[in-house]
A and B are shown apart, each in its own frame.
Chain A
Amino acid sequence: MIRILKFVIIDILKNKVVIVYTLMLALFSWSAFSLEDNATKGVLTLLNIILLTVPLVSILFSTIYIYNSGEFIELLASHPVKRKKIWNSLFFGLTISLVLAFLIGAGIPIFLFADIGKAVMMLAVGTLITVIFISIAFFSAIMSRDKAKGIGVSILLWLYFALLFDGLVLFLTFQFSDYPIEKGMVVLAAFSPIDMARILMLLQLDVSAMMGYTGAIFKNFFGTSLGLLISFFILFLWIFIPYRISLSKFKHKNL
């Protein structure tokens, strides 16, 4: 598998998109920290940028890359290579390159400007979000043979997680504002990895007071080490489940 992984990574790095992505993240991060006068505000600005761009680039680049690897997959499949190995190599190849791009582009300025606790949390959250959206890309790419359809599904999924889900939550809170829904909000957060990541990061920044009573409930849950553990576990499920489904579909695909 290492041999195939090597070819995938070399191929991705030859593609200049990942390098442009690294530079873009670096530019965002440096400007976020130089524009704001205090580091916490800088982190907050950067958080919003990262939670919008990282999922988009991860899911789109991965989906297109998987479709473009059709020939590569076909070539390997006629040789003694297990299908699982092919799919895993693509997944880890994309994961290693995009996580590395994130850690270099955003990681260096974050470590320079923010204090260590916030920086570690930010990088953990960014890395997880990257891998989650790569995993979702594998899921949408295996669903259809048609490239345009697959990319369309990916864009819709990104739209849903990045924008529509928040709207839905907002709608629900207004509709049920007479009821005690604070606990329900904690559960609802598990259904969107981006929101989960945002809550985890906001609690690190001690700005949860701005979220009112729900913020306090969040702090009660996500602030404890058990809550933290559970939320990271849920984020890992977001990586594992879509990828696992795509893998079992790929094993039975007609090439």
Chain B
Amino acid sequence: MIEISDVNKHFGKLHILKNIRLSLKEGECIALIGPNGCGKTTLIKSVLGMVLPNSGEILFDGRSINKDIHYRRHIGYMPQIGRYPENMTIGQIINMVKQIRNSDEAYDEDLYEQFGIEKLLDKRMGTLSGGTTQKVSAVLAFLFRPKVLILDEPTAGLDPLSAEFLKEKIIQEQKKGKLILITSHLLSELDDLISQVIFMQEGEMLFHKNVAVLKQETGTDKISKAIIQLLKRDQA
């Protein structure tokens, strides 16, 4: 569904993405992990067309993303730090995005209801706490029933109850056969969600493995333990 081939990105002297090659398919739930500043967000933003790679190509359903922006209809994106126009209220933001997307499909308002956004519609974005902003981002990401969900640190800043709602929602969507790409530092949170792991370090992709294979190789039962084992083995 998403093919990334030999993508390189430089920010000045920094080489942020080094020959990234990936193939992501429907129904997969992929965890993108790695230390801070390893290029996870840059990779995600490249897929969204917000960052333009210096070389390489990204295909969505077989078509280059540079040629046609309509592929973004099929993506729901939840940014790590949602930045929204400060003067607009939550209601105005949701309305605006609905009008821009102009989709005929019925909206998916599960999270909207669970998070109790209804009561907050008149609040200005500038006055919101980090957690509430995250809730708005989550609602917008799921609202249009996209085929692909890209979630950058989705549960960071959410209260435990809301994080649980979001997790359930992600599992529910995964069962519908959607492609889900998550970055997170909280590995324990991902355990019951993901089917594959991509590990990045300093702009390079170290491995892309099936979770079952990974656990078997390292003889552990938790992803977090498996990753730590692998890293230790690499260093040794």
A residues sitting closer than 8 Å to B (CB atoms) are 3-4, 7, 11, 14, 69-72, 74-82, 252, 254-255
> Which among A14, A70, A77, A81 is the interface contact of B87 at CB below 8 angstroms?
A14
- Bound-state CA distance A75–B79 (Å) is 10
B residues near A3, Cβ cutoff 8 Å: 99-100, 102
Residue of B with least CB distance to A74: B83
- Bound-state CA distance A107–B35 (Å) is 60
> Which among A11, A75, A82 is the interface contact of B97 at CB below 8 angstroms?
A75
| Interchain CB contact under 8 A, B50 and A74 | yes
- Bound-state CA distance A14–B97 (Å) is 20
| Interchain CB contact under 8 A, B100 and A4 | yes
A residues near B72, Cβ cutoff 8 Å: 78-80
Residue of A with least CB distance to B71: A80
Residue of A with least CB distance to B99: A3
Given A77-B49, A254-B45, 9 further pairs, Cβ under 8 A: A7-B96, A11-B85, A70-B83, A71-B85, A74-B83, A75-B97, A77-B48, A79-B101, A255-B45
Interface presence of B209 (CB below 8 A): no
User: B75-118 toward A: CB 8 Å interface, digit per residue (1/0)?
Assistant: 10101000111111000010011011110000000000000000
- Bound-state CA distance A235–B99 (Å) is 36
B residues near A255, Cβ cutoff 8 Å: 45, 50-51
A residues near B158, Cβ cutoff 8 Å: none
| Interchain CB contact under 8 A, A72 and B100 | no
Residue of B with least CB distance to A82: B69
User: B47-79 toward A: CB 8 Å interface, digit per residue (1/0)?
Assistant: 011111000000000000000011111010101
How many B residues have CB within 8 A of the partner chain?
A: 28
A76-B100 contact given A71-B84, A71-B86, A254-B50, CB 8 Å threshold = yes
Interface presence of B11 (CB below 8 A): yes
| Interchain CB contact under 8 A, B85 and A69 | yes
| Interchain CB contact under 8 A, A75 and B45 | no
Minimum C-beta distance from A76 to chain B (A): 7
Ranked 3 nearest A-B pairs via Cβ: A80-B72, A71-B83, A255-B50
| Interchain CB contact under 8 A, A252 and B52 | yes
| Interchain CB contact under 8 A, B52 and A79 | no
| Interchain CB contact under 8 A, B83 and A254 | no
- Bound-state CA distance A255–B51 (Å) is 6
- Bound-state CA distance A76–B100 (Å) is 8
> Which among B52, B69, B71, B93 is the interface contact of A81 at CB below 8 angstroms?
B69
Residue of A with least CB distance to B100: A79
B residues near A80, Cβ cutoff 8 Å: 69-73, 100-101
- Bound-state CA distance A72–B84 (Å) is 6
A–B pairs, 5, beta carbons within 8 Å: A70-B83, A71-B83, A78-B77, A80-B101, A255-B50
User: B191-220 toward A: CB 8 Å interface, digit per residue (1/0)?
Assistant: 000000000000000000000000000000
CB-CB contacts below 8 Å: B95-152 with A: 96-97, 99-102
> Which among B11, B71, B86 is the interface contact of A254 at CB below 8 angstroms?
B11
Minimum C-beta distance from B15 to chain A (A): 14
- Bound-state CA distance A4–B77 (Å) is 20
Minimum C-beta distance from B126 to chain A (A): 10
Kindly name the residue among A69, A75, A76 whose own CB sees the greatest number of chain B CB atoms within 10 A. A75
A81-B100 contact given A11-B85, A71-B83, CB 8 Å threshold = yes
Kindly name the residue among A3, A7, A78, A82 whose own CB sees the greatest number of chain B CB atoms within 10 A. A78
B residues near A81, Cβ cutoff 8 Å: 69, 100
B residues near A4, Cβ cutoff 8 Å: 100
A residues near B45, Cβ cutoff 8 Å: 254-255
Minimum C-beta distance from A121 to chain B (A): 38
A residues near B101, Cβ cutoff 8 Å: 79-80
Minimum C-beta distance from A71 to chain B (A): 4
- Bound-state CA distance A74–B52 (Å) is 14
A residues near B52, Cβ cutoff 8 Å: 252, 254
A residues near B73, Cβ cutoff 8 Å: 80
| Interchain CB contact under 8 A, B50 and A11 | no
| Interchain CB contact under 8 A, A75 and B50 | no
> Which among A70, A72, A78, A82 is the interface contact of B50 at CB below 8 angstroms?
A78
